[in-house]
Chains A and B, each alone.
Chain A
Amino acid sequence: MLSASARFTDDMPLRAGTLHAAVLRSPHAHAEIVSIDTTAAEAREGVVAVLTGADVKDVTTPFLIVVKEPMDQWCLAVDRVRFTGEAVAVVVAQDRYIAEDAVDDIAVVYKPLPAVISPLDAAKDGAPLVHEAVGRNVVSVREFTYGDPDRAFAEADHHVDLTIDYPRNSQTPLEGYVVVADYNRQDGVYDILSNFQGPFTVHPVMARALCVPGSRLRMRTAPFSGGGFGVKQAIFPYVVMCAVAARKVGRPVKWVEDRLEHLTAAIAAPNRVVRVEAAATKDGRVTALRYDQLDDYGAYLRPPMPGPLYRQHGVMTGPYDIPNMAITNRLVMTNKTPSGMVRGFGGPQSFYALERVMHRVAEVAGLDRLEVIRKNLVPADAFPYRACGGALLDSGNYQKAVDIAVGKGKLAALMKRRDAARKEGRLYGIGMAAVSDPAQSNMGYLSTIQTAEERKKSGHKGGNISFATVNMEPLGAISVTADSIPQGQGHATVLAQIVADQLGVPPDRITVNTEHDTHKDPWSIATGNYSCRFSSATAVACHKAAVEIRAKLARIAAQRLNVKAADIDFADGMVFARNNPGNALKLHRVAGVAHWQPGELPEGMEPGMRATGVWAPPELEPPNDQDQINTSLTYGFVFDFCGVEIDRDTGQVRIDKYVTMHDSGTILNPLLKDGQTYGAFAWGVGCALMEEFVYGPKGEFLSGTFADYLPPTIHEVPEPELYHLETPTTLTPLGAKGGAEGNVMSTPVCLANAVCDALGLENINLPMTPAKISALIHGEEPARPDTSTDKAGAGADRSRALTGQGSHTVPAAPEQVWAALIDADRLAAVIPGCHELELVGENEYRALVTLGVGPVSGRFKARVKLSDMKPPDAVTLSGDLAGPLGASSGSGRVRLTGVAGGTRVDYDYEVEITGRVAAIGGRMLDGAAGVVINQFFRRLTKRIHGADKTGDAGQLPFWRRLARKLGFGG
């Protein structure tokens, strides 16, 4: 990989004649599609086809979903769009540039509908409906009771109650989605190369949507994938979209997602509103928990959703011994991007609630926070421990892990540091968090969403099957394939190590190929790279295959060396009698027997030297009648503590020290394990301090660039102090648990606990941006001081409603100004970027203008109506603007007053903006609006005085020049 050889999906060779796709997306969060006119796009040179919802409806069926409600989703919107960025049409053309040009040629008429964005609003009676056919937005409610929580709460000394509003975020891999689809008419097979990462539960979903048996949907992957984090599961609608397009045009179709598309429309971890309550004794023992969870899945429920709401279900008590629990799970739909798999998969949301409430229990009870954690942890002698929700915590020594972390990480010194800082008046806080780190999901956990009765009818689901194959060639070369589909986690390194250990050869002698091909490789619905599945699943399957090969080799060698197979050993490429190492054969000679001399093999042995290990741990049982579910196979343990200092002036949270302690069972490869921890920590920091997908109140998406959606850089991510304890799991032969997700669950809440400690807060929601913290320290920021006559600015909420007012003095009489304003030709000459302006009705204009913000620009069609006209004193302008960059609508009032030296023009306006401009240009809109207005008046003045007959026609449009100044190509 370091030699920069090109082996990512986008680098793979294409069949001759491959076409390229670009997607037209909805600028509205919720709208009816009145009409789509693709004529102009189809007529563009180089365009081969344009597909819309009608085309996909002809040849596909809606995607299967988990909840039996009428919430149909196709790969392109049919009749209605339900989130900003939803795919509406796809253009297939000779190259991507042409395809994107043609996307701008498609004319869609939308009838905007009320959108619902906040999950709490969506859950209210009378809220706009995301799916009318369902009749409500809360599409699933289940209540669970374990033990006797009501009694525990009634008897409790302390009752702690918090409400958490966990935001939307995603780990946003640097490589976006890439699909190359081909369709072979002869055998009816769709052949897909993509960076899909599994789980392959989605394979039957895609095959069914395409109306083919699974064997006719061949899914392949490239050698490398540029980051996954769960996110590359949600590529599947695009797989179907490209498959349909390839079938229609009879040629392969390639689509590469860009960053704006990814941030806007790919995926987000579900935001969740949780009310969490804890019952505690006066000495800090937590006796019961109560969760009321409202999980927001956006506009469509894409399989395997609502996974995040149930993946933690068995272990909602975390690493604690809490015998009573009540859970209400509600699943709500809103007009936002559909939620999906993102690293942590429900864990960050769940543990944020649990660890915030544990922190509060200590505060309310007046106890030391570490003591409350210690007191409630599952005791070391209690393993295997069955949590009340059903999780089987097989092993661990949580107290010891905490002791190591506190000792080596010097918590006592950190406490002194905090006290010293506080004496100086600085804002310093300490946070802690303890979490369970689950790995290898039970494929049946999602059936907990059904009642026990429903499960009986539909059949019990559970398990998690994995495969790996070890092959030895006639001359002794060893190769491995497996079903893990990695994105750089180093699975190949670990698999080589596992096989090398069994066969006594150096790991670099072993070739591992982790590409996957459903036509040739063994796979199951569990196949893929997610929920820390590798170490306890695929690695074990590989171990089993290697053990089988070793046993076979040992039997062959035993026969030839005249010893028992049990006395055979392997080292340095030799197979030998353990008690007499001189009695030996070369490894490749032994393997060769299975190929060249099948007749001489020991009795009953099959020829060839290939073994496929299959691993399906029996502990992953379906949910029982009491709704207990062992959601994962293994449960690691993570304990973190940290010190943060908050800048009193800026509200910036600085991580002063961060200690993280992991017990992930046996560590298969320390370098790779630590790499996973550092990576998870970095994303945890991002979630805590910076990352959030932001929507305006009408569903405008506002985080379409990496300057708006902020992944942390090296400056925000300190190096954490890392400690390990290794308590092997008893459930797998390798003893390894998962270890790649712990810190995405522990770090956000650990930092939040520290910030609450520093500021004396009862609660806080993420992300803890400087603006949010500043407002907590200093109160809300006052309105921007009035430093100019032009007060363009965004509203106080985060809407892209652009409002402003101002005045300019034009050196001409009011009548002259008025005449210029209502004359189409003269107006056309002074509106920046205006190409055409024609009168289409009484005081109604249609205009074509080029506008751009930041890195994008495009042509817009505008309709402007003049009303409430009082010549030459006042006029109201209203209208809307639509184009490839988005849509807007608004109105403004202009008043003319004769003053010394000319006419004072006073104006105020309010414009709502959606689509691409809102997503990527939000930061620049306010300033840009003011400058355009200034330019308008300058040109108006010149026009009236005839001082500049050519206007600015010879120059680039202002927006372009601004973009260049800001460093964008423009």
Chain B
Amino acid sequence: MPQIGRNERVRVSLTLDGKKVSGLAEPRMLLSDFLRQQLSAGAVHVGCEHGVCGACTIRVDGRAVRSCLMFAVQAQGCDIETAAGLAGEDGELDALQKAFRKNHALQCGYCTPGILMSVTSFLDSNPDAGEDELKDMLGGHLCRCTGYVGIMRAVLEYAAARRA
């Protein structure tokens, strides 16, 4: 494990939504802050900074991770995916985003990017997950606006469409 001095800034290089990028980070810098402040990753939303709300969830090498609970330097060389990478180059929403729109699964939209990343990560590894398992997964996210009704409908619809 590399040793980094307390006030030393190191270059962290990673892949962000398919593009190779890098920035400077002190060892203590949170990955969420690094992505937002150094790499302008606006789809990373910071809601609690203690790993409860789930708004800052991203995918690190395919796995859903709360970016506020990781240091930037731990992401060296990782493949980072945020919700900004879901839509196509032309801005067309992907199937999950479309399901969210159709089912009114968001209001203020602050919790949404984190939920989208959890859902895609979870269904990639659990394609046959049923309602209870999906509910357990969504239990890791707080939404203060919607009462979760639209979110659950959207996720069920998307999961079914993926299986079809």
Contact = CB atoms under 8 A, between A and B. Distances in A.
A379 interface: no
B86 interface: yes
Per DSSP, chain A at the interface is: loop
A852 to B, nearest CB: 13
Contacts of A226: 45, 47, 108-110
A675 B26 contact: no
Given A2-B97, A4-B82, A488-B109, A175 B47 contact: yes
A822 interface: no
Contacts of A776: none
Contacts of A7: 42
B139 interface: yes
Nearest to B150: A675
Given A174-B55, A969-B71, A705 B50 contact: yes
Contact of A675 (B37, B69, B146): B146
B53 interface: yes
A679 B146 contact: yes
B62 interface: no
Contacts of A682: 143-144, 146-148
Contacts of A680: 147
Contacts of A225: 108
Contacts of A229: 144
Nearest to B145: A679
A27 B70 CA distance: 28
Contact of A488 (B28, B101, B107): B107
Nearest to B136: A715
B79 interface: no
A3 B87 contact: yes
A678 B83 contact: no
B84 interface: yes
Contacts of B52: 705-707
Contacts of A968: 50-51, 69
Interface string A680-699: 11110000000000000000
Contacts of B71: 969
B142 A711 contact: yes
Interface in A150-197: 171-175
Nearest to B83: A4
A490 interface: yes
Given A174-B47, A175-B47, A713-B142, A5 B107 contact: no
A678 B149 contact: yes
Given A3-B97, A679-B107, A705-B50, A97 B28 contact: yes
Contact of A175 (B51, B106, B110): B110
Contacts of A674: 104, 149
A783 interface: no
Interface string A349-390: 000000000000000000000000000000000000000000
Interface residues of B, number: 59
Contacts of A306: none
A427 B152 CA distance: 29
Interface in B85-128: 86-87, 91, 93, 97, 100-101, 104, 106-113, 116
Nearest to B69: A969
B29 interface: yes
B3 interface: no
B159 interface: no
Interface string B18-46: 00000000101110010011001011011
A95 B36 CA distance: 13
B51 to A, nearest CB: 7
A671 interface: yes
A1 interface: yes
Contact of B138 (A714, A967, A969): A714
Contacts of B48: 174, 259, 705-706
B144 A2 contact: no
Contact of B147 (A717, A855, A967): A717
Contacts of B157: none
A2 B106 contact: yes
Which of A7, A95, A96, A713 has most B Cβ within 10 Å? A713
B106 A259 contact: no
Contacts of B110: 8, 173-175, 226-227
A2 B139 contact: no
Contact of B49 (A258, A675, A707): A258
A8 B37 CA distance: 14
B109 A681 contact: no
Contacts of A96: 33
Nearest to B146: A679
A284 B30 CA distance: 62
B80 interface: no
A174 B82 contact: no
Nearest to A7: B42
B109 A1 contact: yes
A174 B144 contact: yes
Contacts of B49: 258-259, 855
Nearest to B40: A6
B11 interface: no
Which of B106, B109, B138 has most A Cβ within 10 Å? B109
B65 interface: no
Given A4-B42, A11-B42, A705-B48, A714 B112 contact: no
Contacts of A969: 30, 69-71
A732 interface: no
A937 interface: no
A854 B51 CA distance: 12
Contact of A3 (B26, B50, B91, B146): B91
Interface in A199-235: 224-229
B148 A224 contact: no
A516 to B, nearest CB: 16
A652 interface: no
Contacts of B69: 967-969
A7 B43 CA distance: 10
A3 B94 CA distance: 9
A173 B144 contact: yes
A18 to B, nearest CB: 12
Contact of B45 (A175, A490, A713): A175
A676 to B, nearest CB: 8
B139 A171 contact: no
Given A6-B40, A706-B52, A719 B149 contact: yes
Interface in A39-54: none
B158 to A, nearest CB: 13
B107 A713 contact: no
A706 B144 CA distance: 12
Contact of A671 (B36, B104, B116, B140): B104
A719 B131 CA distance: 14
B134 to A, nearest CB: 9
Contacts of A397: none
Contacts of B147: 677-682, 717, 719
A488 B111 CA distance: 12
A524 interface: no
B162 interface: no
15 contacts: A3-B93, A4-B42, A4-B43, A7-B42, A10-B46, A173-B108, A682-B146, A683-B144, A706-B52, A711-B142, A713-B138, A713-B141, A714-B148, A968-B51, A969-B70
Interface of B: 26, 28-30, 33, 36-37, 40, 42-43, 45-53, 55, 69-71, 82-84, 86-87, 91, 93, 97, 100-101, 104, 106-113, 116, 135, 138-152
* 9 nearest CB pairs, A to B: A6-B42, A488-B108, A226-B110, A678-B147, A682-B147, A4-B43, A488-B107, A706-B52, A1-B109
Given A487-B145, A969-B69, 18 more contacts: A4-B83, A6-B43, A7-B42, A171-B144, A173-B108, A174-B55, A174-B144, A227-B145, A671-B104, A677-B147, A678-B147, A679-B146, A705-B50, A706-B53, A711-B144, A714-B151, A855-B50, A969-B30
